[in-house]
Structure 1
């Protein structure tokens, strides 16, 4: 046989769940290269193949070269091979395999064939650890396997993953940590170190994200993508870059990639503190129905279905949520649907269609003054809890709609290259009403009382775009040199508007801004990875972005010094930015890696702040990071352990800080950060999964003319916690009760948040939260109970310090700043019933 041995690298096979290797279906031998003389002795090229869950060879690398010509033909042949995928139980796996490919010279023509010697016997392989028998393959697969080449296999390695661009580049498999109580897909971000979430606007309002020492608002400093579709909304009335991920169904999130810092050339606009991409997939096939009921009349119904005979890329999901909320004016109701289907449209091409639709309405209690709560002056019952969860303005809340469609075409090229082309369209509408200052800002007509500071922010937009990337599969000096070329073309047509509303009746009485915005973003990047030495890998790239802004300001004055005028004005502006990124990876040992990265990034301009013919200013970010990564896996182990730690520094040319008078973030000038993080995750498959992280960051506003290298000096930026800790853990097991086999699960989530600096040298109180969950399963039925905020802490989800007047239009305004807060949820119980239907094999499910 021309292939002698296949060495598989599977993800730490568990003794309880058998692993079956891939079965070759099509494995044609390579073609002898025509541009070199025929060899006189056999020539062997050692390839490392990545065999995906569909049984296709998705990637080929040369491990031992026999020359460029032979390497080229060996790689071209390998890309045409087909396999029945490897499986753990019935779940397909992506694996790596080291495969020697031999080129045997043609035998010379002779009058009589030479005497044949008996074939040399290879020494017997070392005995492998005893494993339970693998599940029997279907008859069709048996027949295909019998007709193809035979392979000797040894189970002993791990799955491949995209190489990280930095120590803070995390490809996070949700896995068993999905058992930890979470309210939305946004909460999955807590699996990345140094992340904190807060929400001042109600269940349906996007979370404020604190990451890597940034107050990233609702997305201004973090680029969000869902299966490649951008989610940040340009020039949103509530904040430039607003990104709402509440519509994502958590059960359909397979993994997420969190790249902290601007180190990957594929990162685009808003990737200042990093980029988050949700990757969808449904591993559990069949129909799963889950319904829950909990405290404060919270109800949830989730239905997800994966056709049993298809891959995890095919799914349908429906999610309905409703509840009264944990206090007055906190009710919410929303519904969402997501579906994806993948077609094979050719021998080497797949088409993936994805769609989502979502609608929501929610109420918000807003902020309250701490002095009014302590003194018992809130308009609620006099007991402490009623005062803590009370509100001033019942007219706060919002509503949102989103409709999304994406089509992605993936083609594999003959020489190992790949081409991916994606088109998408997003339609979005949102209205938010907030009141942060009461009756402070309004200047009423003479003789009239203040009308209130309630602000209505309205956004309606359509986004259409294309994304693509091309990997040509180049080979230099006998080694593959991964090169990736990519582009993005995005057009946004947006109506963004903010108005003041009367406290009585809610009618608008003043327009703050009213803009029709059209933005075109064209970007391209090139990234290359080189390995000049066996222990050194270099990665680098360059990204170019250009923006064209067209703004029609529909809120200009009706007259000026020269007389009457039309209250509209058109503005055009253009911006261009180049951002190089580079990293160097040094392998200190087979398990220990030292990685150093540096890069530039940018945030585009909010169109509302532009002037005509302006070369649009960017917020430029310069970042650097160095740290270590260590991983223990494979070699027959039934567990994995991975740890990382890094030190980073970041400088931003134009930062934003929340302004209570505007109800949104406003420019404050340059800022800088110095920080560090450490994280570790231990996984014993299908049994125990534990992840812990701790992060520290100091964000400051540098003094004028200060040295850019002294990133620890300057005034501390408000609202950003300096110390964050997080623990997620899940343990599963089996027990027999009264002769019935039952599965059980216990899960814990813990967040520790250090004091946050507030304006005027004030600090918030530290926060410690514990969430627990327990589940029990018998065959197709599962019962669960979760408790969030187990210790029933009275914590403050968001906290501010400024001047306000909530005592009424007749009360004189105080000029003394005081602490304001948004109450966090008290202890919350939720019971869940889950039913698993249409399963092919009930024993494979956890």
Structure 2
């Protein structure tokens, strides 16, 4: 604890140490013309000096210490028309420039390859979202190159996630946030890091920022394979009402309405309300009865061009039935069909309510002070039956996992540009905390979702994560940037068992530190070629029911990773990103929420290559493709018995997209996952699949008609697969084999939306 406090104090006290005022020649602001909202991440280049600046949260940028004279200023932002203007700098006063960019079709020539801009690819994926068949916000994770998801409980449960040779389960090794709100649930009743994104309305998502590997100081717990941050709209362009209907009794309605009107926008005040309702019976023989309701209210105000305040409230409820994972032998012997069930009384209920406040302030010296405070109230109840009659021949093996929790948190950071040894330096210091208070976390044996047969585990959990980080980005040359960072986390675990108190069980407590250094090198070989090396350490915490009672050595297992990559833009309309990577995980303890037991797991190593290609074939036709290879292995097991079950080894996604200025859009896409090991010795195979999806839309004045289809080839594919030992009715001996959830058959959905003025 003492070391953690010392680092925390140093981060705060040293924050201005390397930064001081210097001459400023050009100051600028970049806004969207239609929304009057600042554009963060726009690339501003200055010719003939080949200097580059990136706009901040306020749309601000600056160029320092320029000789007097005339310069050509170019402002680029994906999805907006490029602006080029001449700016004259006087020797006495800075030049002030304001740019209002107009929206346009996607133009890959707007993508810049510069040393300061680590990953322009994530912006492309965000724009592509409108041309992909999306059923819910969780499916937008597929925009992350190489990421695969699988649903296996009626559409209401969080999807299983796969990335970079990881079976991440529901979020153990990827950090997910939404407007800075944590999505991963620590010490969750179902599984560590459980991440349910269904509380987001897809139409409200403005962008998805993502990164791979443990290389980002702002990202802490779970950010080992990578992270993704969903960002909702700050302002509405138009009011909108949408109705959708699809096969399998699928219906959806969405509404988004501006609350303040156009006059408030001129004062840079924006507020809107969005809501969504979904119902679907699904494609199973037993109706799934999925119901989901979402509502979001958001306000943002910009004051004096130096203060941004935003506030949002959102609520989410969902309930569903499920047919569960079925064994292959039950289909082979004819007892059920592919879309049948052994136990169709599975299902669940979940809810989430969020309050989120942010305050960002910029100062005359260029410093940016950011603050966020949030509160979350969450409920979860899930009924599952994985083994059928393996343990209880009379009643079956159905279980209930249940919890209620509150989350409170704060994030703060201060960022400022300065100089060190005469070279530009970007300094950032941050700190924060997250506190989870979990009530009645429960695992019980049940019958038909009605009767509680026995309680296996029940208790209360408190988990606190306090952290601080220091990041220094040093521009050694206009082409070569070095970023060094150190993050410190301290976690406190407390578990109180409600079942063992009568027997004198003690409250279990523990606290552990984790220090995570990062080093990122980026070099622009030329205006069209960038190479980078990222290396660093991260971690994911283990469940408090393990960590509170252990010595703590395995409470925060370390991840060590390295990426060596290349970003290449051979022409204005082609873009390539590729990376070789390796990621090692230390010894960890895995808490299995379905059984309430601890399974030890040894060290692992994963390495591979990622390739992403984007091309603009014509003014209106675009191509994208992502190929991801990985070799995941357990390091402490003998060869041939060292496979990591369900870990993906080869995935690929891509497609062709079309959009013109007359309102016609369309996309034809594919998804491919190769066969992979289902158990440690690869005696069982999790079958791969190849799927084709499509979407087409047409805008007719204020009406948009949209038709989307999934699995156009009607492939019989397995979405989620597990090796499971189970016993069916009438069986004497249990059998261990593949249990799976069948993937969506051919699915068709028609939608119509109406947009109208503010």
Question: Does residue 717 in structure 1 map to residue 641 in structure 2?
Answer: no
Q: Is the 8 Å Cα contact of residues 434 and 454 (structure 1) preserved in structure 2? A: yes
Q: Is the 8 Å Cα contact of residues 328 and 737 (structure 2) preserved in structure 1? A: yes
User: How far 1:284 sits from its partner (Å)?
Assistant: 5.4
The answer for the alignment partner of 1:248 in structure 2 is: 200
Question: Does residue 593 in structure 1 map to residue 566 in structure 2?
Answer: no
1:400-439 equivalence runs, <5 A: 400-439=350-389
Give the Cα–Cα distance (whole angstroms) in 1 for the partners of residues 380 and 49 of structure 2: 58
Give the Cα–Cα distance (whole angstroms) in 1 for the partners of residues 92 and 458 of structure 2: 74
User: How far 1:493 sits from its partner (Å)?
Assistant: 0.5
Give the Cα–Cα distance (whole angstroms) in 2 for the partners of residues 413 and 10 of structure 1: 19
Choose from 332, 344, 347 the match for 2:302: 344
User: How far 1:205 sits from its partner (Å)?
Assistant: 0.8
Give the Cα–Cα distance (whole angstroms) in 1 for the partners of residues 30 and 201 of structure 2: 32
The answer for the alignment partner of 2:435 in structure 1 is: 491
User: How far 1:450 sits from its partner (Å)?
Assistant: 3.7
The number of residues matched between the two structures is: 707
The answer for the alignment partner of 1:458 in structure 2 is: 402
Note closer, same or farther for the CA distance 1:583–1:452 as it changes in structure 2 (3 Å cut).
Answer: same
SS in structure 1 at match of 2:614: strand
Choose from 674, 688, 693 the match for 1:754: 674
The answer for the alignment partner of 2:170 in structure 1 is: 218
The answer for the alignment partner of 1:381 in structure 2 is: none
SS in structure 1 at match of 2:130: helix
Q: What 5-or-longer segments of structure 2 have no aligned partner?
A: 1-22, 39-47
The answer for the alignment partner of 2:494 in structure 1 is: 550
User: How far 1:87 sits from its partner (Å)?
Assistant: 11
Give the Cα–Cα distance (whole angstroms) in 1 for the partners of residues 399 and 115 of structure 2: 46
The answer for the alignment partner of 2:60 in structure 1 is: 58
The answer for the alignment partner of 2:276 in structure 1 is: 319
Note closer, same or farther for the CA distance 1:373–1:292 as it changes in structure 2 (3 Å cut).
Answer: same
Which deviates more from structure 2 when the two are superposed, residues 2-11 or residues 772-781? 2-11
Give the Cα–Cα distance (whole angstroms) in 2 for the partners of residues 313 and 583 of structure 1: 37
1:772-811 equivalence runs, <5 A: 772-807=694-729, 811=731
Note closer, same or farther for the CA distance 1:414–1:336 as it changes in structure 2 (3 Å cut).
Answer: same
Question: Does residue 361 in structure 1 map to residue 319 in structure 2?
Answer: yes
Give the Cα–Cα distance (whole angstroms) in 1 for the partners of residues 547 and 25 of structure 2: 66
Q: Is the 8 Å Cα contact of residues 221 and 539 (structure 2) preserved in structure 1? A: yes
The answer for the alignment partner of 1:733 in structure 2 is: 660
Give the Cα–Cα distance (whole angstroms) in 2 for the partners of residues 176 and 371 of structure 1: 41
Give the Cα–Cα distance (whole angstroms) in 2 for the partners of residues 150 and 535 of structure 1: 25
Note closer, same or farther for the CA distance 1:218–1:97 as it changes in structure 2 (3 Å cut).
Answer: farther
1:56-95 equivalence runs, <5 A: 58-62=60-64, 64=66
User: How far 1:770 sits from its partner (Å)?
Assistant: 0.8
The answer for the alignment partner of 1:513 in structure 2 is: 457
Q: Is the 8 Å Cα contact of residues 491 and 521 (structure 1) preserved in structure 2? A: yes
Q: Is the 8 Å Cα contact of residues 113 and 529 (structure 2) preserved in structure 1? A: no
SS in structure 2 at match of 1:812: coil
Note closer, same or farther for the CA distance 1:467–1:52 as it changes in structure 2 (3 Å cut).
Answer: closer
Q: Is the 8 Å Cα contact of residues 27 and 60 (structure 2) preserved in structure 1? A: no
1:827-838 equivalence runs, <5 A: 827-838=746-757
1:36-435 equivalence runs, <5 A: 58-62=60-64, 64=66, 101-104=89-92, 158=110, 170-281=122-233, 285-306=237-258, 307-308=261-262, 310=265, 314-327=271-284, 328-346=286-304, 348-378=306-336, 387-435=337-385
The answer for the alignment partner of 1:77 in structure 2 is: none
RMSD, aligned α-carbons: 3.8
User: How far 1:400 sits from its partner (Å)?
Assistant: 0.6
Give the Cα–Cα distance (whole angstroms) in 1 for the partners of residues 692 and 269 of structure 2: 33
Question: Does residue 627 in structure 1 map to residue 565 in structure 2?
Answer: yes
Note closer, same or farther for the CA distance 1:52–1:470 as it changes in structure 2 (3 Å cut).
Answer: closer
Choose from 670, 675, 689 the match for 2:608: 675
Note closer, same or farther for the CA distance 1:277–1:598 as it changes in structure 2 (3 Å cut).
Answer: same
User: How far 1:402 sits from its partner (Å)?
Assistant: 0.4
User: How far 1:576 sits from its partner (Å)?
Assistant: 0.3
Choose from 747, 750, 763 the match for 2:685: 763
User: How far 1:242 sits from its partner (Å)?
Assistant: 0.8
1:609-648 equivalence runs, <5 A: 609-612=546-549, 614-615=551-552, 617-631=555-569, 640-648=573-581
Which deviates more from structure 2 when the two are superposed, residues 682-691 or residues 771-780? 682-691
User: How far 1:49 sits from its partner (Å)?
Assistant: 6.0
SS in structure 1 at match of 2:140: helix
Give the Cα–Cα distance (whole angstroms) in 2 for the partners of residues 162 and 88 of structure 1: 14
Give the Cα–Cα distance (whole angstroms) in 2 for the partners of residues 665 and 683 of structure 1: 51
Note closer, same or farther for the CA distance 1:411–1:672 as it changes in structure 2 (3 Å cut).
Answer: same
Give the Cα–Cα distance (whole angstroms) in 1 for the partners of residues 640 and 388 of structure 2: 36
User: How far 1:414 sits from its partner (Å)?
Assistant: 1.1
Q: Is the 8 Å Cα contact of residues 176 and 689 (structure 1) preserved in structure 2? A: no
Note closer, same or farther for the CA distance 1:656–1:196 as it changes in structure 2 (3 Å cut).
Answer: farther
Q: What 5-or-longer segments of structure 1 have no aligned partner?
A: 12-16, 23-43, 67-82, 106-147, 379-386, 443-448, 559-564, 707-711, 735-741, 840-846
The answer for the alignment partner of 1:654 in structure 2 is: 587
Question: Does residue 818 in structure 1 map to residue 737 in structure 2?
Answer: yes
The answer for the alignment partner of 1:691 in structure 2 is: 624
Give the Cα–Cα distance (whole angstroms) in 2 for the partners of residues 746 and 248 of structure 1: 24
Q: Is the 8 Å Cα contact of residues 113 and 567 (structure 2) preserved in structure 1? A: no
Note closer, same or farther for the CA distance 1:58–1:9 as it changes in structure 2 (3 Å cut).
Answer: closer
Q: Is the 8 Å Cα contact of residues 6 and 152 (structure 1) preserved in structure 2? A: no
What are the superposed Cα offsets for residues 173-231 of structure 1, whole Å, 9 maximum, x if unpaired? 52244121111122222222211101112212111110111111111111111111111
Which structure's CA Rg is the greater one? 1
User: How far 1:172 sits from its partner (Å)?
Assistant: 4.8
Give the Cα–Cα distance (whole angstroms) in 1 for the partners of residues 96 and 326 of structure 2: 72
Give the Cα–Cα distance (whole angstroms) in 2 for the partners of residues 744 and 728 of structure 1: 17
User: How far 1:703 sits from its partner (Å)?
Assistant: 2.5
Give the Cα–Cα distance (whole angstroms) in 2 for the partners of residues 503 and 350 of structure 1: 53
SS in structure 1 at match of 2:436: strand
Note closer, same or farther for the CA distance 1:262–1:713 as it changes in structure 2 (3 Å cut).
Answer: farther
User: How far 1:399 sits from its partner (Å)?
Assistant: 0.6
User: How far 1:506 sits from its partner (Å)?
Assistant: 3.2
Note closer, same or farther for the CA distance 1:667–1:151 as it changes in structure 2 (3 Å cut).
Answer: closer
Output the TM-score relative to the length of structure 1.
Answer: 0.76
Give the Cα–Cα distance (whole angstroms) in 1 for the partners of residues 684 and 99 of structure 2: 67
Note closer, same or farther for the CA distance 1:88–1:714 as it changes in structure 2 (3 Å cut).
Answer: closer
User: How far 1:692 sits from its partner (Å)?
Assistant: 0.9
What are the superposed Cα offsets for residues 17-65 of structure 1, whole Å, 9 maximum, x if unpaired? 99x9x9xxxxxxxxxxxxxxxxxxxxx9998665679xx6523243747
Give the Cα–Cα distance (whole angstroms) in 2 for the partners of residues 207 and 671 of structure 1: 24
| Greater per-residue strand proportion | 2
Give the Cα–Cα distance (whole angstroms) in 1 for the partners of residues 277 and 114 of structure 2: 35
Q: Is the 8 Å Cα contact of residues 322 and 332 (structure 1) preserved in structure 2? A: yes
Give the Cα–Cα distance (whole angstroms) in 2 for the partners of residues 264 and 719 of structure 1: 27
Q: Is the 8 Å Cα contact of residues 436 and 660 (structure 1) preserved in structure 2? A: no
SS in structure 2 at match of 1:715: coil
SS in structure 1 at match of 2:671: strand
Which deviates more from structure 2 when the two are superposed, residues 451-460 or residues 467-476? 467-476
Give the Cα–Cα distance (whole angstroms) in 1 for the partners of residues 276 and 528 of structure 2: 42
User: How far 1:807 sits from its partner (Å)?
Assistant: 1.6
Which deviates more from structure 2 when the two are superposed, residues 469-478 or residues 316-325? 469-478
Note closer, same or farther for the CA distance 1:730–1:655 as it changes in structure 2 (3 Å cut).
Answer: farther
SS in structure 2 at match of 1:783: strand
User: How far 1:515 sits from its partner (Å)?
Assistant: 2.0
The answer for the alignment partner of 1:608 in structure 2 is: 545
What are the superposed Cα offsets for residues 386-445 of structure 1, whole Å, 9 maximum, x if unpaired? x00000112211111100011100000111110001100011001111110011134xxx
Give the Cα–Cα distance (whole angstroms) in 1 for the partners of residues 215 and 519 of structure 2: 7
Give the Cα–Cα distance (whole angstroms) in 2 for the partners of residues 151 and 488 of structure 1: 34
Note closer, same or farther for the CA distance 1:470–1:713 as it changes in structure 2 (3 Å cut).
Answer: farther
